[in-house]
Amino acid sequence: MPTATTQTTYLLRHPTPTELTHIRTQHSTCWAGALTVSQYLTREDHIASTPLTRNGGMTQWVLVDAAADPAHVLASCEAIRKKALVAHTPVDGEKRVPVEEVVAYGIGSVFTPPECRGNGYAKVMLTMLGERLKRHNGQRAGFSVLYSDIGKQFYAKLGWLPHKSSHIELPVRTPAPPRIHPSRVQPLYHADIAPLCALDTAALRTALSTRHPKTRIAFVPDHGTMDWHHNREEFIGACVRPDLGAPAIKGCITASGTRWMVWGRDFSVAGPRLYVLRVVDFGPEEGRREDLMALLSAAVEEAGRWGLGKVVVWNPAESVVGAAGAVVDGVVGVERESDSIASLMMYGKGGSGEAEVEWVLNEKYAWC
C-alpha cells in the first residue's frame, strides 16, 4: 500500500452511514470497554443525538485516496462543535478586554484501520482537518483541541500544542469513610444543572474580561456540554450497572449555593472512576476549606456507591488539592505524559502554546 508521503490525491469527506457503522465496529476494540459491540454502536448513536452533537454539532470525517480507491477509508475521526470564549492580549492602557464568543472544535476518535497503519494517514487527515475547521460550514472558528493518548510530540508537530494536563486521584476504599461535614452539601440532579451552568458562564465572561498578559481561552461550561457527558454515563451505567438504576446524582452543592461540583462516572474496565467535570468556587475565603472537603467527601461516597475505585479532578486549584488531602489518605498527584494530553491549535494570529495562551478552566468537562 502506498504511504502518505507518496500520494497527493487525498480527499477529506464525511462517511456514509454504512462506512460509519463499519468504522465504529472497528474501533470498538479500542473504546467499547465493558460494552458489547452492539451496545457500543447504540451508545455512539445515542450520544450523537444529544443537543450538543445533533443537527451538525458533531461531524465525522474520513480520509480516502480519490485517485486510487475513493471508497477505501484510510483514517477517520470526528469533531464536536462547541461554544468557547477568547479574550485576546489587551493593548496598552486597556483595563478591560473584549471577550469574543467563538465556535471551537473538539477532535476525537482518531482511528486508522489496522491494515492502514504505519503509512502516515492520520497525520495527513489531521493536517487537512485542522485547516478545514478554521471555517467549516461558513463559521469562522477560534480554535480546536484534542486530547492525545499517544504523548505530546505527535500532535504538537501538527500544530496542536500541549497544555497543562495534571490531575489528582482520591482513592475510594471499603468500608467507606464517614462523610465530612455532610450538612454543608446537598446533591445536584439533572434539573439543577442548567441554571448553575448559566451562572458559571456569566462569571467566566467577567473573569476573562480582566486585563491579562496572555490570550485566554475557555470552553463555555454550558448545559449542553454537561448533558453530553451525563447522557454518555447514563447509557453506559444502564448497561454495566443496571442494578443501581440510572445515575441520578450529577454532583453536589454547598448549602450557601456558592460552591459546587458537577461529576460524571467512567465505567472503564481498566480503571472505573468518578470524574469531577467542573469545580465552581464563588464563595468567600471563610469556609472554603470546609466546603471543598464536604464536596469532595460526597464525591468519594458517590464513587463508592457505584463501585468506582477513585475520584479524579483535572488541573485542580491548590485549595482543592489541600482539601482532598484532608478528606482521604493517599491522594495522588499525576502529571500526565502519555494520555489525555490537552492539546490546542489557535486559529488566527499568535501562538498556541502555554507561553502565548492560557487555557482557563482546563477541566474534564471540556474533554471529548
Domain encompassing residue 147: 4-163+338-366
Each residue's pLDDT, cut to its tens digit, for the chain (368 residues) gives 555 655 579 999 999 999 999 999 999 999 999 999 999 999 999 999 999 999 999 999 999 999 989 899 999 999 999 999 999 877 666 778 899 999 999 999 999 999 999 999 999 999 999 999 999 988 899 999 999 999 999 999 999 999 999 999 999 998 888 999 999 999 999 999 999 999 999 999 999 999 889 999 999 999 999 999 999 999 999 999 999 988 999 999 999 999 999 999 999 888 999 999 999 999 999 999 999 999 999 999 999 999 999 999 999 999 999 999 999 999 999 999 999 999 999 998 889 999 999 999 999 999 99
User: Do both 133 and 17 map to the same domain?
Assistant: yes
292 and 343, same structural domain?
A: no
Cβ-contact 278, 226 below 8 angstroms: yes
Same-domain status, 90 and 141: yes
User: What is each CA distance from 191 to 136, 187, 195, 196, in whole angstroms?
Assistant: 33, 11, 8, 10
Residues 71 and 111 in one domain: yes
Write the CB contacts of 322 (distance below 8 Å, at least 6 apart in sequence). Answer: 289
Cα separation, 128 vs 276, in Å, equals: 34
128 with 10: CB under 8 angstroms? Answer: yes
Same domain, 186 and 285: yes
Please report the pLDDT score of residue 238 as a whole number. 94
Per-residue model confidence (pLDDT) at position 93: 66
pLDDT of the residue at 177: 85
**Surface-to-core class of residue 179, CB atoms within 10 Å of its CB (0-12 exposed, 13-18 middle, 19+ buried):** middle
Same domain, 285 and 347: no
pLDDT for the residue 332: 97
- State residue 96's pLDDT score: 83
We report the CATH number of the domain holding residue 257 as 3.40.630.30
Tell me, yes or no, whether 174 and 270 share the same domain: yes
Q: What is the CA radius of gyration of the chain?
A: 21
Task: Tell me what pLDDT residue 266 has.
Answer: 95
Show the DSSP H helices in the chain as ranges. Answer: 17-31, 37-48, 121-132, 153-156, 190-208, 223-240, 288-305, 318-327
C-alpha cell at 339: 494520555
Q: Please state, in angstroms and as integers, the Cα–Cα distance from residue 151 to each residue in 128, 220, 257, 340, following that order.
A: 21, 26, 39, 8
- Amino acid letter, 30: C
Angle at 287 between CA 281 and CA 291, to 5 degrees: 55
pLDDT, position 89: 79
Instruction: Please give the pLDDT value at position 3.
Output: 56
Which distant-in-sequence residues (6+ apart) come within 8 Å of 227 by Cβ? 50, 51, 52, 193
**Smallest Cα–Cα separation from 276: which of 310, 244, 246?**
310
Q: Give pLDDT, residue 321.
A: 98
How many angstroms from the chain centroid is the CA of residue 178?
31
Are 109 and 58 in a shared domain? yes
Residue 56, C-alpha cell as written in the block:
451538525
Report the number of distinct structural domains present in the chain.
2
pLDDT at site 7: 59
Residue 48 CA to residue 58 CA, distance in Å, equals 7
171 and 296 housed in the same domain? yes
Q: CA 109, CA 101: separation in Å to the nearest integer?
A: 26
Residues 22 and 148 in one domain: yes
Check: CB of residue 110 under 8 Å from CB of residue 129. Answer: no
Entry field: residues in the chain: 368
Query: Tens digit of pLDDT for each residue in 31-54?
Result: 999 999 999 999 999 999 999 999
pTM higher than 0.85 for the full model? yes
